[in-house]
Amino acid sequence: MHRFADRPAARYIIGFALAVILTAIPFTVVGAGLLTGPPAYAVIAAGAVMQVIVHLVYFLHLDLKSTPVENVFFLGFAAVLIFIMVGGSLWIMTDLHHRMM
C-alpha cells in the first residue's frame, strides 16, 4: 500500500486542509463574536502566522534541507527589513498619537 503522505498531490491536499482550518477558526471567532478585543486579535494573529508557515512549507516547498541557502538567506533578510520598517513605523506613529492626545 502506498503511504498517502508520499504522493505529491497529498502534500498539496494536506496543506490545503490545514489552510482551510486555519482560515475557518479566525472567521468563526470574529463572525460569531465568540471573542472580542485582545483575545480575538491573538487568535487572528496566531492563525495568520501558522497559515503563512503552512503555505511556505506545503505550497512553496520551503524547507531547510532542499531549499538553496541563498533563498532562505534572502527570506530572512526581507523579514528583518520588514520587521525594522513596519515595527518602526507603528512604534513612531502610535507614539505620535499619544503625544497628540
Partner 1 sequence: MSVSAVLEEEEKKSLEAREFGFWIYLMTDAIIFALLFATYVVLSKNSAAGPTSNELFDLRHTAGETALLLISSLTFGFASIAQRAGNQTHVVRWLIVTLLLGLGFLAMEMVEFQGMIAKGAGPDVSGFLSAFYTLIGTHGLHVAFGCLGIVVMIGQIQVKGLTQPVRSRVFRLGLFWHFLDIVWIGIFSVVYLPGVM
Q: Which chain residues interact with partner 1 by CB under 8 A?
A: 8-9, 12-13, 15-16, 19-20, 23, 26-27, 30-31, 36, 40-41, 44-45, 47-48, 51-52, 55-56, 59-60, 68, 70-71, 74-75, 77-78, 81-82, 85-86, 89-90, 93
Least separation in angstroms between residue 60's CB and partner 1 is 5
What Rg do the C-alpha atoms of the chain give, in angstroms? 19
Can you list the alpha helix ranges (DSSP code H) found in the chain?
Answer: 8-31, 37-54, 69-100
What's the grid cell of residue 60? 512553496
Least separation in angstroms between residue 26's CB and partner 1 is 6
What's the grid cell of residue 48? 495568520
Distance CA 60, CA 56 (A): 5
CB closer to partner 1 out of 63 and 86? 86
